[in-house]
Amino acid sequence: MRALGAWLRRRAENVAAVMLGTMFAAFVLQVLSRYVFNFPVGWTSELTVALWLWLVLWGASFVLKETEEVRFDLLTGAVGPRARNAMSAVSSVALVVLYGASLPASYSYVSFMKVERAAYLKVPLSALYAIYVVFLVAILVRYAWLLLRLLRGGDAEEADITHASGGL
């Protein structure tokens, strides 16, 4: 199972790298066409913005480890392991409840956006925004997993399902 997790993580990193490379190429093409050839094209800008959105949410969903996320840990760093685990459990419950409550409305909105299309790329906006629903589901799974691990007596520092050796 760990080998499968490590393989999936590497593939998620590969997808992120392809998105970043494509975004960079579109940006360079945009600069060249505008400033060198004096022929601005709009699709490169739209593609760059769409890929940035996908890259950030894809990375947060599948690439970033729990310990790599930006957090304000002044309180958790000042307490012992039991209090830190309790704080992590309360945070996990809050995130699962809040993200879980927002999931149906988010899905509904993304589904509704199929009626609109991007100006240059002509793809439905639901396809561009679908990554947000994927992000919500990934975060729900991540924090439900963390909560389950904490309730079973695990440590908050070890419960990272985005790492191949983490988890139950």
For residues 44 and 26, the answer to whether their CB atoms sit within 8 Å is yes
Q: Does the predicted TM-score (pTM) go above 0.85?
A: no
pLDDT at residue 5, rounded to an integer: 85
CB atoms within 10 A of CB 116: 12
pLDDT at residue 167, rounded to an integer: 46
Low-confidence ranges of the chain (pLDDT < 50): 159-160, 164-168
pLDDT at residue 81, rounded to an integer: 86
pLDDT at residue 157, rounded to an integer: 64
pLDDT at residue 153, rounded to an integer: 84
Cα(90)–Cα(112) distance, integer angstroms? 33
Tokens of 19: 């998105």
pLDDT at residue 99, rounded to an integer: 97
pLDDT at residue 90, rounded to an integer: 94
Strands, E, within 10-148: which ranges? none
**Integer-rounded Cα radius of gyration of the chain:** 20
pLDDT at residue 73, rounded to an integer: 75
